[in-house]
Structure formats: C-alpha cells, structure tokens
C-alpha cells in the first residue's frame, strides 16, 4: 500500500488529543499529544455512583468528551468550523466536499462498528474522534489517532459509525480548522490550562470530583464487598481500572501523560520546578498502577471473598493525599 | 514508571491490531512513550468484563432455544446492546421492542421490520429468524 504523504499521522494514546495534534500539524503547528492534553486541562477525576454504564457506576479520569478539544482551541485562539446533519447522505456529501478541497476533516464516530478496532474495545462508545483526509473509489483514507498507521473505511462503513445511536450520538458531527491566528501565545495557554486543572482537582465543592472524589471512591470501595457481594464488588472495582488503563490514557489514568506535559511546559516556560513536579507525578501514577495490580488480583479471585478491598481503599487515600499536595505545589508554581 | 518497566503482557486483547503508547521515563528522567501489547491487571479486568457479556449472551441463547424469548434477545446481548439502544436504532418505542422479545409477537413481524432489525445487528434477515443457528453457537 502506498503511504499517503499529504496528512501526517501520529499515533496517540487518547483520540481527542490526537486528532487536535494531528490536525494542527497539517497546518504547521507542532504540538505534542501531552501539550494538547495539558492546555485543554484533560486531567481530572470523578466518581459518579448514580451515573451507570452497563449497570456499573462511572469513574472517570478525564472531563466529558469534547471538553479538551474545546478548551485547547479556545486557549490557542484556533477556530474550528463544526457541523451536524439530520440527513446521513448530506453529512457524507459535506465530507466529500471538504476532501475535494483538500481539507482534512475530523469526525465524531461510534467505535462499535469500526472494523479495524480490536474486538475487546468494540463497545457502544460514541465519542471517538478520527480524521478523513482523502477519498478514492468510495474508500476514505482515515487517520485514527489510537491506531499505529493509516486505516481505510468504505462509504457505508463510515456512514454507519457516523450515525451510531445511543448516548453522545454523533449525528454526523464533523469539524475542521477554520482559522489559525498568526501568533499563538503558547505560554499563556499552558498557564491557563495548568491553573484550571489545579482548580478542578482541588476546589470543586462537590465531593464527587477531584481529590475529594478519590476519597469518596475509597469509602465506596471499602464497602463494596459487604454491600454488593463478591461478584458485583469485583465488577465495580474492575471498572475503575478499566477507566484508568483502557485505550487512551497513556497509563495510570492520564497521570503519566500529564507528567510528560509538565516536563515540556517546564522548558517552554523556563520553570525548572515543573520538571521536578513531572517526576513526582510519575511516582503518583505508579501508585495508581499499584491500585490496578491489587484490583487485578481481586478480579481474578472474584468468586471468593478477597481481603484486599481494604488495601485498595487505603491506597486510594494515600493517592488522594499525594495528589492534593501535588496540585497545591503545582498551583503555587504557576501563580 | 520507567520506560524499561513498561509491561508487555500479551493476552491477545489487541489481536495484533495495535500497540498502545504508554508514557514513561527514560534513564535520564525524560518522558517518552513505549508501545505496549498489554498488562496483566488490565487484561484481567477486561476479561472479567467480557465474561459478564458472554454470560448474558449464553443465558439469552438458552432462553431463545427453549422458546421463552425471540431471537432478538440473543442478538441484543451478542451486540452488547440493551432494549433502549435497539429502540433508538430502530426508531421505535422501547415497549415495542420489549413486545418483539416475545416469540408470539416476533413471529407476526412484517418482513421489513425483520429486515430493519437484521441491519441493526449486521446480519441477514434469514440469519435473524433461524434459531437453528444458535444451537451450534458458543
């Protein structure tokens, strides 16, 4: 297969960062995935017991889909054109129109029917991002940020995923770069991004979010085996680790990726303290990984009562303390 | 995490279709990415989640074969869907889908409704109504 050269694809851990990073590179702006993630304040924590997916409460290490995208473009002053369509045929026509003009176009899609995805990741998640950059004989050349190389989708396949149904139904949503300012104020954008993350992690006055959310989850996990029974307790705890490690986090619930961002930021802002903090965050990420190890064991022995729930809950408290101290230091470093 | 410690525990979760980048530190304390094929704790929780799905599929299969439910029940579970999502794809009410789960009502469905259901599940109409197919299915 000949490699298309007009759109340079780079794999990323997370689709939203990856699409923004890849689209901007096309227009000559080189921002790494961690950069986009950090400017968009992608790091977060929330545990929402009343919001259930597949019957299991949602734990998330990132804000709602679309938010990173929105914040990053706003902070860099880049404007995107966005469109949704009732009529699937019109949505495909509009895409073809864009591609004819050589405009790489981002789209929201559902992953369930993405043929190139591994089966284990094909569930009904509708806020995945990818870019189409060329059409040939009814086949679209696709740059999907989580894949290593270029992919292809036929007209019918693409139409199907653009019109996936359910929560966050994309409705043919597509977007492309409209305007890039002459001067991009990267330093300012980075500072804004960091400040918001500190705020999100430390000061939201609802106990489900940020550091308080981690403590809340710790209490929940401690009670899971008593309240839910062994099987369900294992599923609930396993779900936390799935959110933490499954496709798109770069490891440890985005903590490692955010570390990479801080390290880059240290250089751009000329603040060596951020580099020290980036190493510290890698250590906190290691604690999250340890939590995953304990959970993995719980899930493996799911048919017998496992005594590790207390250990897991204790570890979450340690993580919460470490993150609280960490984000206080980070806040100080950028104020 | 150190780059050299990034786990490579392959449980064929990614079926060789991709490796996932993990951010980690090289020997000089600089962040870098390392491609990983998997990690045991993660493989474990993913397997568990899929075991749950497969259990539901198997239950539905038995109920369809015993005549308690219509084939829809099997294909809904098989596609990790629920009644709400199917209703959404079909553009009909939830309770209508619920009704179609009963073999009695399913048997009376129009050709075009069957076609539409089949399209949602990415199979043919013939596959949808042929419960013999489910006998060998594991």
In angstroms, the separation between the Cα of residue B48 and the nearest Cα of chain A is 7
Contact A118 B15 (CB under 8 A): yes
CA separation, residue A62 to residues A183, A197, A199, A255, B3 (Å): 29, 11, 14, 10, 24
Instruction: Answer with the one of A179, A210, A240 that is the final residue of a domain.
Output: A179
**Nearest chain A residue to B17, by CA:** A118
Chain B residues 9-48 within an 8 A CB cutoff of chain A: 13-15, 17-25, 29-31, 33, 35, 39-42, 44-46, 48
**Global pTM value:** 0.92
Please state which CATH number belongs to domain B54-136. 1.10.260
Cα B112–A86–A119 angle (5° rounding)?
A: 70
What CA–CA distance (Å, rounded) separates A180 from A56?
42
Q: Inspect the interface and report whether the beta carbons of B85 and A124 lie closer than 8 Å.
A: yes
Reported ipTM: the value is 0.92
Chain A positions in Cβ-Cβ contact with residue B18 (cut-off 8 Å)? 11, 118, 146-148
Q: Is residue A6 part of a domain?
A: no
Distance from CA of A205 to the nearest CA of B (A): 31
pLDDT digits (tens, 9 = 90+) for B8-21: 999 988 898 999 99
d(CA A241, CA B13): 15
Least Cα separation, residue A70 to chain B (angstroms): 24
Cβ pair A116:B81 closer than 8 A: no
The C-alpha of A101 sits at a distance from chain B's nearest C-alpha, in angstroms, of 31
Phi-psi sector, A304: left (phi>0), alpha (psi -120 to 50), beta = beta
Say whether A245 and B40 touch across the interface (CB within 8 A). no
- Read off the pLDDT band of A122 (50, 70, 90): confident
Q: Across the interface, do A112 and B80 touch by the CB < 8 Å criterion?
A: yes
Residue A298 lies in a domain: yes
| Beta strands per DSSP E along chain A | 46-53, 56-60, 79-83, 105-109, 128-136, 139-143, 151-154, 174-179
Residues A133 and A209 in one domain: no
Torsion of CA A303, A308, A313, A316, to 10 degrees: -110
Q: Which of A128, A145, A179 is the last residue of a domain?
A: A179
**Does B95 touch chain A if contact means CB atoms closer than 8 Å?**
no
A116 lies in the same domain as A259: no
- Segment A174-232, tens digit of pLDDT: 999 999 998 899 999 999 999 999 999 999 999 999 999 999 999 999 999 999 988 89
Range of the domain at A96: 15-179
In a shared domain, residues A205 and A328:
yes
Using a CB-CB cut-off of 8 Å, the residues of chain A touching B22 are 13, 250-251, 256
Q: What are the pLDDT digits (tens) for A32-48?
A: 999 999 999 999 999 99
The tens digit of pLDDT for each residue in B76-95 reads 999 999 999 999 999 999 99
Q: Is residue A3 part of a domain?
A: no
Cβ pair A279, B29 in contact under 8 A: yes
Structural domain spans, chain B: 3-38, 54-136
Which residues in A lie closer than 8 A to residue B85 (C-beta atoms)? 124, 165-166
Q: How many independent structural domains does chain A possess?
A: 2
User: Given this model, what pLDDT does residue A5 score?
Assistant: 57
> Are residues A106 and A223 both part of a single domain?
no
Examine the pLDDT at A1 and tell me if it is beyond 60: no
The residues, ordered by sequence, that sit 6+ positions from A98 with a Cβ below 8 Å of its Cβ are A105, A174, A176
Task: Supply the pLDDT for residue B10.
Answer: 92
Q: CA-nearest residue of chain A to B31?
A: A260
A193 and A141 within one domain = no
Residues A53, A158 share a domain:
yes
pLDDT at A124: 87
pLDDT over 70 at A128, yes or no: yes
Q: Do B1 and A279 touch (CB under 8 A)?
A: no
**Contact: A251, B22; criterion CB under 8 Å:** yes
pLDDT in tens, A261-300: 999 999 999 999 999 999 999 999 999 999 999 999 999 8
A229 torsion bin: left (phi>0), alpha (psi -120 to 50), beta (else) = left
Size of interface A-B (CB pairs under 8 A): 119
Query: Does the distance separating the beta carbons of A242 and B46 come in below 8 Å?
Result: yes
Same domain as A250, residue A160: no
End position of a domain, from candidates A179, A213, A242:
A179
Residue A9 lies in a domain: no
Instruction: Say if residue B5's pLDDT is above 80.
Output: yes
CATH number of the domain encompassing residue A45: 3.90.70.10
């Amino acid at each position: 297969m000949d490699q298309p050269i007009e759109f340079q694809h780079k794999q990323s851990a997370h689709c939203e960062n990856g699409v923004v990073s890849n689209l901007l590179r096309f227009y000559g702006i080189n921002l790494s995935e961690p950069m986009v993630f950090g400017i968009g304040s992608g790091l977060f924590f929330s545990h929402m017991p009343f919001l259930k997916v597949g019957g299991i409460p949602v734990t998330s290490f990132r804000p709602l889909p679309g938010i990173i995208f929105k914040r990053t473009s706003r902070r860099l002053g880049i404007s995107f054109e966005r469109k949704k369509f009732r009529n699937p045929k019109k949505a495909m026509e509009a895409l073809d129109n864009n591609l004819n003009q050589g405009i790489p176009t981002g789209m929201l899609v559902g992953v369930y029917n993405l043929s190139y995805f591994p089966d284990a990741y094909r569930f009904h998640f509708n806020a995945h991002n990818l870019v189409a950059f060329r059409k040939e004989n009814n086949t679209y050349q696709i740059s999907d940020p989580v894949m290593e190389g270029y992919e292809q989708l036929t007209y019918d396949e693409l139409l199907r995923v653009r019109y996936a149904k359910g929560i966050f139904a994309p409705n043919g949503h597509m977007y492309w770069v409209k305007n890039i300012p002459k001067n991009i104020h990267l330093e300012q954008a980075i500072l804004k991004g960091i400040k918001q993350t500190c705020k999100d992690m430390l000061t939201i006055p609802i106990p489900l979010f940020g550091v308080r959310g981690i403590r809340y989850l710790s209490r929940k996990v401690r009670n899971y085996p008593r309240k839910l029974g062994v099987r369900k307790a294992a599923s609930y705890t396993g779900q936390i680790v799935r959110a933490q490690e499954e496709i798109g986090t770069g490891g440890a619930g985005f903590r490692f990726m955010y570390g990479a961002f801080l390290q880059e930021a240290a250089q751009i802002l000329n603040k060596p303290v951020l580099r020290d903090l980036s190493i510290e965050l890698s250590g906190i990420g290691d604690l999250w990984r340890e939590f995953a190890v304990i959970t993995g064991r719980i899930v493996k022995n799911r048919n017998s009562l496992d005594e590790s729930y207390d250990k897991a809950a204790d570890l979450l408290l340690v993580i919460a303390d470490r993150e609280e101290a960490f984000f206080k230091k980070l806040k100080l470093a950028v104020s | 995490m150190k780059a050299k410690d990034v786990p490579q525990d392959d449980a064929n979760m990614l079926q060789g279709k991709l490796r996932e980048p993990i951010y980690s530190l090289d020997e000089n304390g600089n962040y870098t990415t390392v491609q990983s094929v998997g990690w045991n704790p993660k493989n474990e929780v993913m397997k568990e989640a899929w075991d749950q799905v497969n259990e539901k599929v198997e239950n539905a299969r038995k109920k369809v074969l015993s005549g308690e439910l219509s084939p829809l029940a099997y294909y809904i579970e098989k596609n990790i869907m629920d009644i709400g999502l199917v209703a959404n794809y079909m553009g009909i009410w939830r309770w209508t889908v619920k009704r179609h789960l009963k073999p009695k009502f399913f048997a009376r469905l129009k050709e075009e409704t069957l076609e539409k259901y089949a399209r949602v599940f990415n199979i043919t109409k013939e596959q949808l109504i042929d419960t013999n197919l489910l006998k060998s299915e594991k």
